[in-house]
Every structure is written in C-alpha cells, then in structure tokens.
Amino acid sequence: MSNNVKIAVIGGDLRQLAAAKLFADNGIETAIYGFDLYKGDFSSVTKCMTPADAMHGSSAVILPLPCTVDKININAPLHDGKIVLDDLLHRMTGEQILCGGMINIDRPNTYDYYEREELKILNAIPTAEGAIAIALDELPITLHGAKVTILGYGRIGKVLAERLKGLGCIITVAARKDSDLALCESSSYKPIHMRLLSDAVSDADVIFNTVPSVILNEAILDYIDLDTLIIDLAGRPGGVDFEAAKKLGLKVIWALSLPGKVAPVTAGGIIYKTVNNILKQEGVL
C-alpha cells in the first residue's frame, strides 16, 4: 500500500480503533480523534487533539457504525465530549472520501459501509456466535439436544444454523422462499413455511429471530411456552411485539449490535476490510 495516503478515523468504539490499527499496521498513515477514554495500546496510529488535525491532508475520513445516534453528534462513546457532525462536514473538502455506518448524508464521495454485502456476510459470524453465547448463559439446559427454531434463513440464519448443528441442536427453520426451505432440508434442518409460524415456535426451547419486522405478534406469541427463550437478532423495529411478550410473561432478549459487543476486534477487522475495498475501488489505495 502507498505511504502517501492518510486516513482519519473520527469517533467510534473499539471496532473503529481496531480498524485504524489495521490501516496503520498495513503502512497507511492513520490519524484518530475521539478515543481519549481508551487506556490501551494505540499501536502506530497518531492521536490528534482536534478533528481538524486528524483530517488535515487525509484522503478519507472514517466515521463509526452507527455514524450518529442523535443525528447531531458523531457516535463517540470513547470520547469525553461531543463531536458535532455538521462541524466535521464543513471542514471536509469535496475530494475527501467519507465512509460511515448507517450514514445518511447528501454529499459526494460518501459511502455507507454498513450497506456493503461483504460486511453483512462477515458480520453474521460474530452475530451468530454472540447469540449462541446468550443462549448458553440463559438456558437451564445444554444446547446439545435442545429444540431450536430459527426464524429467517438469510445471512445470519444460515451461519447460526450451521453453528447450532455442530452443537447437536435439533433445528427447525422458518422461511418464506421455497429455495431456502429446500436448502434447509438438504442440511437436515426441519423446514417450515412462515405461513405456519405457529407450528415452528410452539415446541421450541429457544427461538432465534433474524427477521427485521414484527412477525412474533401477540397471536403467534400465544403459542410459545413460558419456558421458551426468545433471542431477537433483528435490527429496529425488531421481530417481536415486546409489549405483548411482556404481558404474556415470555422472556425476550433483544440482542442488538452483537459484533461490536462480543467481538469488537473481529468486527473492526471486518470494517477495515470493507472500507479498504471501497478505497481500492475509488483509487485511493
């Protein structure tokens, strides 16, 4: 990689710091701002006193995932203060590339790395492992021999089913596509169409939902045993009617953003690979 390129990483958590270290370790000048609460090793990255110092001379600016929570300030949990997003944008030149997660900014040369397919595929691995860790902590039984229902057979559903099969689970998968149901059958999972969702959930020890819409509504929740653990892996608004579940006495864990929580260094490596691909495509690297 060229030593003439500089990258600025502004705000974020351990994932962004891990990504910054990987850029630096691969010969890219990397400046960071917004990590003053972090007490560990910064490797060969350059800590800056202001965002302007970090961005000065940079070809690309990398923001967190999510870029912002309140639409005003950059998401910076490791910073003792606020970093106003508009202030940063006003300091950027039109030539600088901006990469952020869940970023919604009308600006040229801006890329949402969260929407990249390679990130979503690789993020399914720590998501699945984190979900299994939750089940191991919460269930009074072993996963070996447990009756597991997975709702949805996309990126996360496929990785999760594979991992759970290795642990000896009895797996049912509910999906909509006939092709997905055929894939489930070929992997020795019990396939059930989503229109028969009540059958899929009625006999489970644990249910993992990956569908980002409320499919576990009150009518379906009524079929679920009180001892069943529900782990919702879907992004907002989630896949569970949480109020109805509470009223019925069901235990639901909404496990958002698992990659950053259970494996931040791995998740940072995934962000690094994804942003690296973007910068290569744009001719920066």
Tell me the per-residue pLDDT of 166-211, one tens digit each, with 9 for 90 and over.
Answer: 999 999 999 999 999 999 999 999 999 999 999 999 999 999 999 9
Q: What is the pTM of this model?
A: 0.93
DSSP string, 153-165: -SHHHHHHHHHHH
Domain boundaries, the chain: 6-115+264-281, 120-254
Q: Do 6-115+264-281 and 120-254 show the same overall fold?
A: yes
Q: CB–CB of 273/279 below 8 Å?
A: no
| CA dist., res. 173 & res. 51, Å (int) | 47
Tell me the per-residue pLDDT of 138-158, one tens digit each, with 9 for 90 and over.
Answer: 999 999 999 999 999 999 999
| Second-level CATH architecture of 120-254 | 3-Layer(aba) Sandwich (3.40)
Q: CB–CB of 40/113 below 8 Å?
A: no
Going by pLDDT thresholds of 50, 70 and 90, the confidence category of residue 220 is very high
pLDDT at 2 over 80: no
The pLDDT, as a whole number, for residue 3 is: 57
From 13-22, 36-45, 130-139, the region with the lowest mean pLDDT: 36-45
The pLDDT, as a whole number, for residue 1 is: 46
Phi-psi region of 36 (alpha: psi -120 to 50; beta: other; left: phi over 0): alpha
Give every strand in the sheet of 251-254, ordered side by side.
190-193, 170-175, 147-151, 206-209, 229-232, 251-254
- CATH dotted code for 6-115+264-281: 3.40.50.720
